[in-house]
Structure formats: C-alpha cells, structure tokens
C-alpha cells in the first residue's frame, strides 16, 4: 500500500486488534515477562530497539545449530544449505517491501545503508573523472553547484552522510524546514527542490514527532527535478505496510532491530538499474567477477555491495521477523499502534506542564510521543519512569537540529509496538502525571 490509511479508514478493512490478542502476542516475547524495580516491565522504547519473538530467536539459533557455514563459497552440504536459507531470506524481505530480489542489499543497519549510498555517489564522481563507467554513471556524479536536499526533522543517520557527501563533492546541502507543529513546510519544499537538486533524502515517519510524511508528494517533486529520492523507512517498515515500488522511491533503508529482528542487520533497497551502475562502497571478496593485479570487475547487485563474510544468521532472523509481522498483519498493527499513540498524546496533553511534540491528539501519527516536562530534565523523567518499571527513551534521539528548532535540548519519548496494551499506556500516563510533583517542579 502506497497510501497510509488512517485509523478511521482501516476500521472496516481489517480485523481489529484488542488487548486480549496483544496479551497473547506478549507470550511470544520472553523478555517482556519480567519485573523491573519490582514492577511488571512496560517496554515503551521500541522506536529505539524492539524486542524479539521466540520464532526469531529460534530461527537464528537453528541456523547455528544446523546450517552454520560460509555462503556462496563452498560446495559441501552445509555451505549449500546456508546459501539457500540466506538467499531465501533476501527474497522474503524483497517481498515484504514490494521490491525485486536483486534490489535488496544486506547492510549492518540503516546507517550503513545510507553511508553506502553516499559513498557510492562519491565514487561515481571519481569513476567519471577517470573515464570509468558510462554516461548513466556520469549523470549520478555530484559536483559544485549541485544540491542535496533533506528535511529539518531528519535523524542524524539521514543527515550527516549527506553533509559529508556535500563536503566531498562541493555540492550544497539544503533542507526543508518544519512548522511549529512539526509538519514539513511543503510550500517551501516546492521552491527548494529544483533543477540543481541531485538527491532528495527524507524520513517516512519521524522518530521524534511521530509524523508520517507525504512520501508520494515529495517523491513527485524530486523526480520532476531529476533527483534521486532516498527514503528513511526505519520508523515505517516495522509499523505499516510498505511498498517501495508504489511509493516510487529510488532507494530506501531500514534496520532489523526496530522490527523484531536482531541487531547487526539492515536493508538497502535500490532500483536495479541504479544499483548496477553505482560503484561499490566496500571492496574485497564475494563481490567480483575477475581480478588481476591491476584491476577488478564487479558483480551486479546485490553481491556488488556485499563484500566479505555476510550477516547470515541475522538475515535469516530478519526474514523470520518479517514473516511474524506479515502473519499478524501490518494493517492491523498500524491501526493498533495508532490507537495507542492517540491514547498517549491525549493523556499527555491533559497533564499540566507537559509539552508534546508533533501532531496534536486526533491527527494521524505513528505510535510514539516525545514530550518535555516543564522544570524537569528528560534524563530525570526517564529515571523516574524506570523506577516504576517503565522503559522509555531520553535525550535528543539523534535529532539535535530538530530539537534546536523546537527550542529544546532533550525530550522523553515513549514508543509502542504490537506487544503493548492500553494498560501499558495508562501506567505510563499515571507515572508521568506524578513527575513534576516528585521533583517539586
């Protein structure tokens, strides 16, 4: 689905999740069944790292118990089996995001995927300067006078690689500002994105504001200008249906650890025709066709960008996570999380001295809420909540420019997932209501 449905439009489209079903789902997550500081754990930090269901844990364990071997390199039985499950996992993830098999690149995380892409674009300029590659590759090379456009709400992972690409190539970095409510100033986007724009990179859903950005509108502006469009899907791939072909983006990244999978695994999607002409980022074994002492020739994607020993067990576990989400139903997950998000925001807005970032209650958002408590530092808020068994995120959430724009240095963020109940949210709200009195703010 390219267009994200609101809770109202989903009401008659999919079966409704409820607390009873969520409590059954929680049984799949061993880590959630524990006490923290004498209280049942309420885990509201899935926007940073989600927990793992048994099926994902067992998938990785089973690989090590039954199939552990290097992929693509051996003719023996274990190597063949390892290669099969590794590449089957790639197909599972390709299907999960609506991509083709060869358009799905394994990375360590989304940050690596974005750095891979920015350095590949740097290398396009180096290759072009040395006469390597064809006219299509030379068209990807950035130079002084070109522009890279991001937004003011970006996570550092989707900002710093583009800052550095601009530094290496002499291009100019520009950004689309936000309004006071956190939404993008789309009227300014239309004037900022123009003939000089070579790359347009933006987040699908903000990890601080909870806003879901107008992907297709931004993509249309980028493509009309002839730019490459890069989507940060870290906060969308785990939570709502994602089809990269319908969204029409050129590249997209997301991380496994935010969608029920282990750390150390992520995905870069790219259009096949672009991946096959981009120079590689990492070089070495497993990504070449011919090597002499003077030069090398490289395989097409995906192997072109997967030098060295790969994240085999993690890829297998990521596929298991994608299957878990698909079987549960991403439409249903999105609707449930939207309900939890609205409950959080409405409750926070009713507590004196609380400022909630992003859309007000009643407006669409993903299931997270970042907020400031007047007179109390975010770290103190987080420790207060932890003393009551409630896990949240504190700090600037790798989005310093966004916080600076909103006049803050740090916030507290609660982020829900498919294993959270309305009781979790209510316990969180009850605890937050006691913060200012506890600190005599």
pLDDT, tens digit (0-9, with 9 covering 90-100), for 164-216: 999 999 999 999 999 999 999 999 999 999 999 999 999 999 999 999 999 99
Give the start-to-end residue ranges of the domains of the chain. Answer: 7-52+329-438, 57-326
Give the pLDDT of residue 134. Answer: 83
Residue 73 pLDDT greater than 90, yes or no: no
CA distance 333 to 84: 30
Q: What are the structure tokens assigned to 50, written together?
A: 């989600």
Q: Is 408 exposed, middle or buried (CB count within 10 Å of its CB: 0-12, 13-18, 19+)?
A: middle
Q: Tell me the pLDDT band of 12, cut-offs 50, 70 and 90.
A: very low
Q: By three-state DSSP, how is residue 329 classified? A: coil
Give the pLDDT of residue 1. Answer: 33
> Crossing angle of helices 422-433/330-349, nearest 10°?
20
Q: Tell me the pLDDT band of 334, cut-offs 50, 70 and 90.
A: very high
Residue among 164, 160, 150 at smallest CA distance from 227: 150
Residue 10 pLDDT greater than 70, yes or no: no
Q: Tell me the pLDDT band of 384, cut-offs 50, 70 and 90.
A: very high
Give the pLDDT of residue 165. Answer: 98
Do residues 354 and 432 lie in contact, with contact meaning Cβ atoms separated by under 8 Å? yes
Q: Tell me the pLDDT band of 75, cut-offs 50, 70 and 90.
A: confident
Kind and range of the H or E run holding 229: strand 228-232
Residue among 418, 419, 378, 382 at smallest CA distance from 36: 382
- Average pLDDT rounded to a whole number, residues 220-245: 98
CA distance 332 to 241: 10
Ranking 3-7, 150-154, 225-229 by mean pLDDT, the lowest is: 3-7
Across the chain, mean pLDDT equals: 95
Kind and range of the H or E run holding 105: strand 104-107
Name the percent of the chain lying above pLDDT 70: 97
- Average pLDDT rounded to a whole number, residues 117-137: 91
Those residues with Cβ within 8 angstroms of residue 5's Cβ, 6 or more apart along the chain or in another chain:
13, 331, 334, 335
CA distance 320 to 303: 22
Give the pLDDT of residue 14. Answer: 61
Give the pLDDT of residue 441. Answer: 87
- The model carries a pTM of 0.95
Q: What does the pLDDT look like over 411-424, one tens digit per residue?
A: 999 999 999 999 99
Do residues 255 and 249 lie in contact, with contact meaning Cβ atoms separated by under 8 Å? no
Residue 41 pLDDT greater than 50, yes or no: yes
Architecture of domain 57-326: 3-Layer(aba) Sandwich (3.40)
Q: What are the structure tokens assigned to 331, written together?
A: 């439409």
Higher-confidence position of 2 and 116: 116
Catalytic residues: 398
**Torsion-angle region of 296 (φ positive above 0: left; ψ -120 to 50: alpha; else: beta):** beta
CA distance 244 to 234: 13
Give the pLDDT of residue 133. Answer: 80
Q: What does the pLDDT look like over 296-305, one tens digit per residue?
A: 999 999 999 9
Give the pLDDT of residue 72. Answer: 87
**Alpha helix stretches (DSSP H) within 30-159:** 54-66, 77-97, 110-129, 135-138
Question: For residue 220, what are the CA distances in angstroms to 28, 214, 223, 227?
Answer: 41, 10, 5, 10
User: What CATH number matches the domain at 7-52+329-438, 3.40.50.300, 3.90.1150.10, 3.30.300.30, 3.90.1170.50?
Assistant: 3.90.1150.10
Residue 15 pLDDT greater than 90, yes or no: no
- Average pLDDT rounded to a whole number, residues 29-45: 97
Q: Tell me the pLDDT band of 8, cut-offs 50, 70 and 90.
A: very low
- Average pLDDT rounded to a whole number, residues 254-279: 97
DSSP letter (8 states) at residue 417 = -
Those residues with Cβ within 8 angstroms of residue 170's Cβ, 6 or more apart along the chain or in another chain:
142, 143, 144, 145
What residues pair up with 391 in beta bridges, in sequence order?
43
CA distance 421 to 425: 7
Helices (H) and strands (E) in the chain, counts: 17, 17
Higher-confidence position of 8 and 395: 395
CA distance 51 to 30: 9
């Amino acid at each position: 689905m390219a267009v994200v449905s609101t809770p109202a439009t989903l009401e008659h489209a999919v079966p409704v999740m409820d607390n009873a079903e969520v409590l059954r789902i929680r049984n799949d997550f061993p880590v959630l069944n524990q006490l923290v500081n004498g209280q049942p754990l309420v885990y509201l930090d899935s926007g940073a790292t989600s927990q793992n269901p048994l099926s994902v844990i067992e998938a990785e364990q089973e690989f090590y118990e039954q199939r552990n071997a290097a992929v693509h390199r051996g003719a023996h039985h274990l190597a063949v089996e390892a290669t099969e499950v590794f590449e089957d996992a790639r197909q599972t993830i390709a299907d999960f995001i609506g991509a083709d098999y060869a358009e799905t690149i394994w990375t360590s995380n989304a940050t690596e995927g974005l750095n891979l892409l920015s350095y590949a674009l740097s290398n396009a300029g180096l290759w072009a300067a040395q006469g390597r590659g064809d006219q299509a590759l030379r068209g990807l090379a950035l130079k002084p006078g070109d522009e890279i456009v991001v937004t003011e709400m970006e996570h550092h992972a989707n900002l710093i690689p583009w800052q550095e690409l601009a530094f290496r190539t002499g291009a100019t970095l520009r950004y689309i500002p936000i309004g006071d409510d956190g939404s993008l100033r789309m009227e300014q986007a239309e004037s900022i994105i123009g003939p000089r724009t070579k790359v347009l990179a933006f987040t699908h859903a903000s990890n601080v504001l909870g806003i879901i950005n107008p992907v297709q509108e931004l993509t249309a502006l980028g493509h009309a200008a002839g730019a490459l469009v890069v989507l940060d899907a870290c906060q969308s791939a785990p939570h709502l249906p994602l089809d990269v072909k319908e969204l029409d983006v050129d590249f997209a990244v997301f991380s496994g650890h935010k969608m029920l999978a282990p750390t150390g695994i992520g995905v870069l999607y790219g259009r096949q025709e672009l991946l096959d002409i981009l120079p590689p980022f990492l070089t070495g074994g497993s990504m070449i066709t011919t090597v002499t002492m003077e030069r090398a020739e490289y395989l097409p994607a995906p192997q072109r960008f997967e030098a060295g020993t790969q994240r085999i067990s993690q890829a297998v576990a990521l596929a298991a996570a994608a299957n878990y989400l698909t079987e549960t139903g991403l439409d249903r997950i999105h609707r449930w999380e939207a309900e939890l998000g609205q409950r959080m925001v409405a409750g926070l807005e009713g507590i004196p001295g609380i400022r909630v970032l992003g859309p007000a209650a009643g407006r669409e958002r993903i299931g997270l809420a970042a907020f400031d408590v007047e007179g109390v530092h975010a770290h103190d808020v987080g420790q207060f909540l932890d003393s009551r068994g409630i896990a949240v995120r504190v700090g600037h959430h790798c989005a310093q420019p966004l916080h600076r724009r909103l006049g803050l240095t740090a916030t507290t963020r609660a982020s829900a997932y498919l294993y959270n109940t309305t009781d979790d949210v209510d316990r969180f709200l009850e605890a937050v209501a006691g913060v200012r009195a506890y600190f005599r703010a």
